[in-house]
Every structure is written in C-alpha cells, then in structure tokens.
Amino acid sequence: MELTTAEENYLKAIYHLSDGGKKSVSTNDIAAEIKTKPASVSDMLRKLGDKEVIEYRKYYGVNITEEGKKRALGTIRKHRLWEVFLVEKLQFAWDEVHEVAEELEHIQSPLLIQRLDAYLNYPKFDPHGDPIPDEFGDVKARPRVALNEMELEQTGQIVAVKDSSAAFLRYLDKVGAYIGARIKVLDKVEFDGSLEILVDQKKTLFMSKDVAANILVQQS
Amino acid sequence: MELTTAEENYLKAIYHLSDGGKKSVSTNDIAAEIKTKPASVSDMLRKLGDKEVIEYRKYYGVNITEEGKKRALGTIRKHRLWEVFLVEKLQFAWDEVHEVAEELEHIQSPLLIQRLDAYLNYPKFDPHGDPIPDEFGDVKARPRVALNEMELEQTGQIVAVKDSSAAFLRYLDKVGAYIGARIKVLDKVEFDGSLEILVDQKKTLFMSKDVAANILVQQS
DNA sequence: ATATATTTTTAGCCTATCCTAAAATCGAAA
DNA sequence: TTTCGATTTTAGGATAGGCTAAAAATATAT
Ligand SMILES: [Mn+2]
Ligand SMILES: [Mn+2]
Ligand SMILES: [Mn+2]
Ligand SMILES: [Mn+2]
C-alpha cells in the first residue's frame, strides 16, 4: 500500500524516536518531533495502524512494525542519498541540505534512487555521518560515543553529529570540528561538564557539554 | 504568494494550452490535459483567479497573466532541467524522464535549481528538444516546423518532438529518429500524407502523417 | 486510596482537492 | 428568436491533513 508524504514523515519520526524500533513512542513526542499538535498525531496513528506499519494501542504509545521499519528505512535511505548528492555534486554546505532532502525523499521512483546511488558511488554515510541503509534496509552501524562521555586523554575521530540544525553545523564549521577530524580529550571540567579537546593534533578547542553531546566519535 | 503542487500543475497546463499566453483556454481543455473533471477545474480556476495568476471570466475561459506566465515558466524550467539531469547524469532514457520530472519540478529551492543549472552547464534544451527558460523566464525560441508540413526534397535537422509519451519516444528510438538527426524528405504520399525520409544520408524511413506531425524540424 | 496533574483521544471545524449529479449558461441551428 | 445541445458552473459529498476545546484515560503525589 502506498504511503502519502505526511505518512512517510510520521513513520520516519516514529522510527527515529523509537531508536530504530527498539522503544515504543508517545503521541506527545511525535507531535514535538513533527511540529504538529497531539490531536493531529492521534488521527494519523489510527491511519498508520490501519495500514499496519505501526502497532497502535490507544493511550499506550506505538511500536513500529517490521513492515513499518522497512518503509521508514526506505525514506531515510532516500533522504541521505539526496543529502550526499547535494553536498558532493551541487556544492551545498552540510547545513543547507536538510530541508531540501526533506522534500526530495518523497519522490517516488525506485529507478531514480538506484541510479542516484550508483552515480554517487554507493556512499555508506551522509554528510552528517549518518549511515545510509542499503536497498534491503540494512544499516552498517559504526560503534560511536558522544564526545561528552569520553574520558580524559582518550582519542578518536569525529564520525557524525546528532543535531543537524544549520545553527549547530555552522558553529562546528566555525570552530573547525568537521567529520573525519581526529580528536583527543585534553581536559574535562567537573563543574559544568565542558571540555577542552585537541583537534588534528594542532588546535585546541573548548566546548560546552551540550555541544559535545551532539558530536559522535569513533574511539581509537 | 506560494502556489501548491496542484496549482503549479494547472498553471503549467494553462500555459501550454494557451500557447505561451497567446490564446485563452477552456475549462474542458484543461480538464482533458490534467486528466481531471471539468467541475474540479472550475473550482481551481476560481482559486487561481483569486491569486491573480490567471484572468478568469466565468463561462468564457481563462487567460494567463504576466505573473502567471512567470510562475509557469519557473515550473517548466525546473521540469526541463531535471529531465536533462536524469538523462545526462543518471542515464535515464528520454522516454523515462517525464513522470519523475513531473514530481521533481515541485521541489521548492531556488538554490537547488541554480546549482543544478550550473552543474549541467546551463543547458538550453531538454532531452525532447524543448527550450529551457532562463532564470528570468526568457525562452530561446528556435524556428521549427512539423515534419509533415515539409515539402519534397527539403532538408533539415530533427530538433524536438511534440509528443513526449514513452510509446512515441520508444518508436523513434526503434526507427533511429533521434534529436539531431539530419533528414531529407524523399517522398510524400498524397493519399494519406505519409512520407519517406532519408535519415543521416544513409537510412530511409517511412512514417505516417501522425508520426511526422509530432516531429519538429529546423530547416536548412 | 484519592485527588490532582499530565497525556491522549474525541468532537467539531477548516482548507485543499477531487468526485457525481443537477442547474445554469452559451452559442449554433432551425 | 426560440430551442437544443454542448459547455460550464454549482451543490453536495468524499478524503487527507491540520487545528482548538473538551472529555476521557492514565500517571503521580499526597
Ligand atoms: Mn520529508
Ligand atoms: Mn543527514
Ligand atoms: Mn508536476
Ligand atoms: Mn521534456
């Protein structure tokens, strides 16, 4: 059964909020994520339940079904492939791609996505470091940890960001914290959790705990 | 004022049916073009009239306004640029691009189109030979004539097709009548208007008047 | 174990877009 | 100039998606 654009957006939100189908998700959380009202969410949940992409028990939140997970991963795959296209081919900055990809992900054409994937040389990660599901919905997970949870002296490489907002990404650009950068934790302030890190063995950088919590590192 | 996807599709249809704003267009013709019912068209015309992209006088058809023409050309520009992208970069056949471009043309991002245009090296024509309006809505018109209206012995080059349906384009592929082909009219049958043409100085080809009427030639 | 607070759903309404059937209008022919 | 057939509009209804306000259910705190 075909999903509408709105249904795809809801399903994707549910997938993300449920941490890939592991947790159940509340009406209010979905409303916050989609920026809509809980009443509208209740309506939509009934519809998604009827289409059997979620399991919906009134008042007790929703769980995504296997079918739903497959659909959500299909949309996520398209979103991330388009983001790669925009950055690699059209010279978009990584903070400019999200809104456009949010529209492009709903274009219906399996051939288009297959060809786009090939054209981009089968990328495994999007510009924010998030993994691109393959055509079967399989995701290559990279073990990664939030920067604020690393210990003193530990080293690693920035592999992704949790927050893809333009404001956050532009801040990272400004301070030179890009994906692929090698980092080392030089200092952690007990009081507020802020930290000092060494970037690429040459530049030191201070950041708040909030910022660090949105930077994901592969340890080494 | 923003136009919805449906409104953009109607406006584009009106632009095409009006021959670029020259003629006024009837409700029934729009319904046929959009594959919808005349009643739905009447509804939409009222709305497009309110938004002043058309001039609508009940029972007397519509004329597109200057503003409407500008909007329609913007959508046409996007449609044709995407078609070029699909053929040039993603190896789509020219009969596979129309449906996808019909969706892609509604993506809202001036930056995207500007970058796409540059990436494609500012193409002037789409895969069907139709001119791509520039960012100001200016169209480079090529003088062209339908093949069925050419006289015996006249020569020229195929520059466009009138019908972009997959069936027609695949037929042209099969017989080797592609855009850019040099042709000469070898014979015209009085009885049914069918003709025999020479393609690229080496292959002769018979075609019905209906086929020839959908092939556009730049004479030389 | 209640009472209160929070969450979620329902009811009722709105806009956009489509449909069918009926009414209105137009224009061509008699 | 009247009439008739084609065209177009209107009326009424459907579905999708959103909203507010009120009701209902659940969760939490005395
Ligand atoms: Mn989206
Ligand atoms: Mn991303
Ligand atoms: Mn379209
Ligand atoms: Mn075209």
pLDDT at A85: 98
Residue A32, in any domain of the structure: yes
Residue B211, in any domain of the structure: yes
Give dist(CA A85, CA B148) in Å, integer.
Answer: 43
- Tokens found for residue A34: 């989609």
Angle at B32 between CA B29 and CA B37, to 5 degrees: 100
Mutate to test the interface with A, among B79, B99, B105, B111 (most CBs of A within 10 A): B111
pLDDT at A1: 82
A63 touches strand C (CB under 7 A): no
Q: Is A214 in contact with A168 (CB distance < 8 Å)? A: yes
Residue A81, in any domain of the structure: no
Q: How far is the CA of A111 from the C1' of C15 (A)?
A: 35
pLDDT at B122: 97
Residue B137, in any domain of the structure: no
Work out the mean pLDDT of chain B and round it to a whole number.
Answer: 95
Residue A84, in any domain of the structure: no
Please tell me the distance between residue A86's alpha carbon and the centre of ligand 2 in angstroms: 11
Q: The pTM is what?
A: 0.94
In CATH, what number is assigned to the domain containing residue B207?
A: 2.30.30.90
**pLDDT greater than 90 at residue B11:** yes
**pLDDT greater than 90 at residue B82:** yes
In CATH, what number is assigned to the domain containing residue B35?
A: 1.10.10.10
pLDDT at A47: 97
pLDDT at A141: 84
**pLDDT greater than 90 at residue B133:** yes
Query: Rounded to whole angstroms, what are the CA distances from B101 to A122, A175, A206, B116, B150?
Result: 23, 40, 47, 14, 32
The burial of A146, by beta-carbon neighbours within 10 Å (0-12 exposed, 13-18 middle, 19 or more buried), is given as: middle
Of B168, B170, B147, the C-alpha closest to B159 is B147
Domain boundary among B64, B82, B100: B64
Q: Which pLDDT band holds residue B25 (cuts at 50, 70, 90)?
A: very high
Q: Which pLDDT band holds residue B72 (cuts at 50, 70, 90)?
A: very high
> 3-state DSSP call for residue A146?
strand
Quote the domain boundaries for residue A51: 5-64
Cβ contact, residue pair A92, B108, below 8 Å: no
Cβ contact, residue pair A107, B100, below 8 Å: yes
Domain boundary among B64, B92, B108: B64
A43 touches strand D (CB under 7 A): yes
Give dist(CA A82, CA A97) in Å, integer.
Answer: 8
Give chain B's domain count: 2
A91 touching B, CB under 8 A?
A: yes
The minimum CA-CA distance between A195 and chain B, rounded to whole Å, is: 37
**Nearest ligand to the C-alpha of residue A12?**
1
- Amino acid A88 reads E
Q: Please write the tens of the pLDDT for every residue from A74-132.
A: 999 999 999 999 999 999 999 999 999 999 999 999 999 999 999 999 999 999 999 99
Q: Is B148 in contact with B209 (CB distance < 8 Å)? A: yes
Q: Which pLDDT band holds residue A142 (cuts at 50, 70, 90)?
A: confident
Q: Which pLDDT band holds residue B105 (cuts at 50, 70, 90)?
A: very high
**Closest in A86, A89, A109 to B100, CB measured:** A109
Give dist(CA A69, CA A132) in Å, integer.
Answer: 14
**pLDDT greater than 90 at residue B1:** no
Q: Please write the tens of the pLDDT for every residue from A30-81.
A: 999 999 999 999 999 999 999 999 999 999 999 999 999 999 999 999 999 9
Domain boundary among B32, B47, B64: B64
A102: nearest CA partner in chain B: B107
A113 touching B, CB under 8 A?
A: no
pLDDT at A113: 98
Residue A58, in any domain of the structure: yes
Cβ contact, residue pair A112, B90, below 8 Å: yes
**pLDDT greater than 90 at residue B141:** no
Nucleotide nearest to B6 in CA–C1' terms? C17
Residue A122, in any domain of the structure: no
**pLDDT greater than 90 at residue B35:** yes
pLDDT at B142: 87
pLDDT at A194: 93
Q: How far is the CA of B152 from the C1' of D26 (A)?
A: 85
Q: Please write the tens of the pLDDT for every residue from A182-202.
A: 999 999 998 998 999 999 999
Residue B77, in any domain of the structure: no
Percent of chain A predicted with pLDDT > 90: 93
